[in-house]
Amino acid sequence: MVGEKLMKLRKKRGMSQQEVASALGVTRQTVSNWECDQGAPSLDKAADLARLCGVSLDDLVADEVEVVVADPDQAAGKPRDLHVLRHLEGKQCRICYRYTHDEIDIFKAVSMPEKARVLDVSDGWLRVEHELGGGAPWSKKETAVRLIDIDIIDSVLAWPNEDDSPHAATCEEAIS
């Protein structure tokens, strides 16, 4: 799973395997092997990779963390003013995406949660936690963490407390 994440993160940064290899002092073939899960970076190289990609080492290596990125051709690529989004940390939100369900499979209702709790906002990423499934009431609730590319987010609707209804205001201006 590290390989797939690494490829997504590298492409989000607009870097080639050779550019990543040069930045880390390894060969292009080594980076290719990592992306194909035919090997794994050492701890120091993994830390360097995380820094290069702008994510935490935990998010890079944890199997529980899914990385969702925009198609590089459709990404906005402009700097974002994230100060309003940072006020959402710890709050329940509904995230609206720039792409329709037909454009990208991962945005089907089954895979994207109705509500998610914002864990962190960083340069280019919204880190959220959401409940998996939605099966029987007696089943154990599980959570998953996603790193969502800011470029695929259209707007965010926030709840001040878990029991409250949604506010009419959105944080659209923070990410547009």
All domains in the chain, ordered by first residue? 2-63 (1.10.260.40), 83-175 (no CATH)
User: What percent of the chain lies above the pLDDT cut of 70?
Assistant: 70
Mean pLDDT of the chain: 78
What is the model's pLDDT at position 24? 96
Scanning the structure block, which residue is given the tokens 């980076």?
31
pTM: 0.68
pLDDT band at 99 (very low <50, low <70, confident <90, very high): low
Q: Who wins on pLDDT, 154 or 35?
A: 35
The average pLDDT across 91-98 equals 83
Instruction: Pick the closest to residue 116 from 153, 75, 169 (CA basis).
Output: 153
pLDDT band at 138 (very low <50, low <70, confident <90, very high): low
Residue 144 φ/ψ, nearest 5 degrees: -135, 155
What is the model's pLDDT at position 17? 96
Produce one character per residue of 45-60: b if its CB has 16 or more CB atoms within 10 Å, e if not: bbebbbebbebbeebb
Task: Report d(CA 50, CA 163) in Å as an integer.
Answer: 36
What is the model's pLDDT at position 79? 60
Is pLDDT above 60 for 26? yes
Range among 40-49, 55-64, 160-169 with highest mean pLDDT value? 40-49
The average pLDDT across 26-47 equals 95
The average pLDDT across 14-36 equals 96
Least confident of 11-25, 37-51, 122-136: 122-136
What is the model's pLDDT at position 10? 92
